[in-house]
Amino acid sequence: MDREAIGTENILAAVDALLNLSPLKKSPQLSAFLTYVVRESLAGRGSLLKSYTIATDALGRSTSFDPATDAIVRVEARRLRQVLQQVYADPACPLAVRIDLPLGRYEPSFRQIAPVPDGSSAAGADEQAEVQESEQRYRALVEASAAVEWRANPEGALTQTFGLSARTGLGDAELHGFGWLDTLHPHDRAAVEGLWRTCCESGTPLDATYRLRHRSGLYRWMLGRAVPLEAADGTIREWVGTMADIDEQVRAEEAVRTSEERLRLAMVAAEMMTWDIDVATRQVSCSEIGNQLMGVTNGPLEEFLAMIVPEDLPAVLASLEPAMRGEGAYDAEYRILDHQGRLRWMSARGSLVRTPSCGTRLIGVACDVSLRYGGPHRTDDRRLSA
């Protein structure tokens, strides 16, 4: 039933009644949250409700509020949903209008509660069906994602697990309580146990990576997350969490890091430098060996070109400028006067790369080939025209 059919007066009366109930009366933040989102919705601005406006208009945050670093709106929304669910789950609930805060949005929904002769609530039956359907969808999602789902008491002891026994080969009796910690890699256990106990004491959501012993005896990397579910009085009544297998992702990232480090070491050994020119800004970025070769790693292209011996500059530009326009590869050999006043022969190659995120860039490598010409020389050796 939409809000027009229910009537604005009846919705506001339901809000007033909710605000007088103990769970909301004891929480000014929740009261302000509920009042604000309902009034904005009734004013036709429900679809415009965002974290920023709720935080600054209702919860007292400053105009510098950043939803990415301050989770107050998400936390209070979760608490409000839980309080409303508990209020309407009470068979003695006197309210005639049900107000809910749907998951994933801040615009409230409204529904008329119709009493039935035996004193129970048809809305209560509908709610029970919705809860069961939601639970089935959640369980199916967990199974489809191959994640382990678990629940724990307020102190952090596991009370239920779904999928953890099949993954570890251990029975529920061995995993429940804090037995699951025995399945962690010895190098990870102390840190994870300390973090988990801290989360339970502070009510902070858990987000941790660790290695879990598989039934095969091998350890696999897991991403563990958990959030607290609060009672009407604000205390934690239980924890709900998941473990997702990220072993392939972690090992792939490690392989990339290893490959990059090997490449870096090889380039250092060969005294080879990577460089990158932003075509739009003509800014140059070089790898760390640029300090050794030129005394600089970043700056305007013109500063790097100024190091080139004047006689060699026209040939360099004849290859560089077309390459920056995408008209061919860059390939040049030239002399520079480095930061120590020495003459060095350099060989550089590069090509144009276009990416949606980084724009157009000319990237390449360069190395010191002075040994071909007898090694670096001081400028007073008068070999600039050699």
Using only C-alpha atoms, what is the Rg of the chain?
32
Along the 386 residues of the chain, how does pLDDT read in single tens digits? 456 778 888 899 999 999 998 888 888 899 999 999 999 988 888 888 988 999 999 998 898 888 778 888 888 888 898 889 888 888 878 888 999 888 777 889 888 886 544 444 455 555 555 555 555 555 555 444 456 888 999 999 999 888 888 889 898 889 999 999 999 999 999 999 999 999 999 888 999 999 999 988 999 999 999 999 887 777 888 999 888 888 888 888 888 888 777 777 766 666 788 899 999 999 999 988 888 888 888 999 999 999 999 999 999 999 999 999 999 999 999 999 888 888 989 999 999 998 776 689 999 999 888 888 776 665 544 444 44
Distance in angstroms (rounded) separating the CA atoms of residues 97 and 3? 10
**CATH number (domain holding residue 301):** 3.30.450.20
pLDDT at 1: 47
pLDDT at 301: 94
On whether both 183 and 278 belong to a single domain, the answer is no
Spatial contact of 83 and 93, defined as CB atoms under 8 Å apart: no
CA geometry: angle at 364 spanning 362 and 370, to 5°? 135
Last residue of a domain, one of 113, 136, 160: 113
On whether both 274 and 370 belong to a single domain, the answer is yes
Structural domain contains residue 41 = yes
Structural domain contains residue 134 = no
Structural domain contains residue 365 = yes
DSSP structural state of residue 148:
E
Structural domain contains residue 122 = no
On whether both 315 and 231 belong to a single domain, the answer is no
103's CB contacts (< 8 A; 6+ apart) are 81
On whether both 222 and 320 belong to a single domain, the answer is no
On whether both 241 and 295 belong to a single domain, the answer is no
On whether both 377 and 275 belong to a single domain, the answer is yes
pLDDT at 386: 40
On whether both 237 and 159 belong to a single domain, the answer is yes
On whether both 304 and 374 belong to a single domain, the answer is yes
pTM for the structure as a whole: 0.46
Q: How far is CA 366 from CA 4, 19, 270, 298, in A?
A: 71, 70, 11, 15
Range 212-240 burial, b when 16+ CB lie within 10 A, else e: bbbeeeebbbbbbebbbebebeeebeebe
Q: Residue 307 sits in which domain range?
A: 270-381
Structural domain contains residue 319 = yes
pLDDT at 378: 57
Structural domain contains residue 121 = no
Structural domain contains residue 127 = no
Last residue of a domain, one of 215, 250, 285: 250
Structural domain contains residue 369 = yes
Number of domains in the chain: 3
Helix (H), strand (E) at residue 228 = strand 219-230
14's CB contacts (< 8 A; 6+ apart) are 95, 96, 97, 98, 99
pLDDT at 375: 64
Residue 355: CB atoms within 10 A of its CB come to 8
